[in-house]
Amino acid sequence: MHDMPTDLLPTADAAEAIGVKPSTLSRWVASGRIAYVHKLPGKTGPFLFTRSEVERVRDEYAASLVPATPSPEGEA
């Protein structure tokens, strides 16, 4: 992209930083899981995200992937 502020990431770059597909990120926009700053023109124009928002969602997503620690045997 040309002359894009360095603190804004387009959909593909944001998805890569989080570790998901761009289509997943677009679904998250629709559901309100991640906020975007602007959408570029066109039906397939990318969303633009702040770096801090991408980092917040990346950390949240990474935490959701950590398996739960099993309880010691004998505890219920």
Q: Which residue has the tokens 């899981």?
A: 33
Given a cut of 80, whether residue 76 has pLDDT beyond it is no
Instruction: Look at residues 18, 43, 67, 70 and name the one whose alpha carbon lies nearest to residue 34.
Output: 18
| CA separation for the pair 15, 2 (Å, rounded) | 19
Given a cut of 80, is residue 71 above it in pLDDT? no
* 37-47 residues labelled b (16+ CB within 10 A) or e (exposed): eeeeeeeeebb
The number of beta carbons lying within 10 Å of the beta carbon of residue 67 is 5
The pLDDT tens digits of the residues spanning 10-39 come to: 999 999 999 999 999 999 999 999 999 999
Which of the two residues, 67 and 26, has the higher pLDDT score?
A: 26
Q: Residue 44: what pLDDT?
A: 87
End-to-end CA distance of the chain: 54
Structure-model confidence comparison of residues 6 and 46, the more confident one: 46
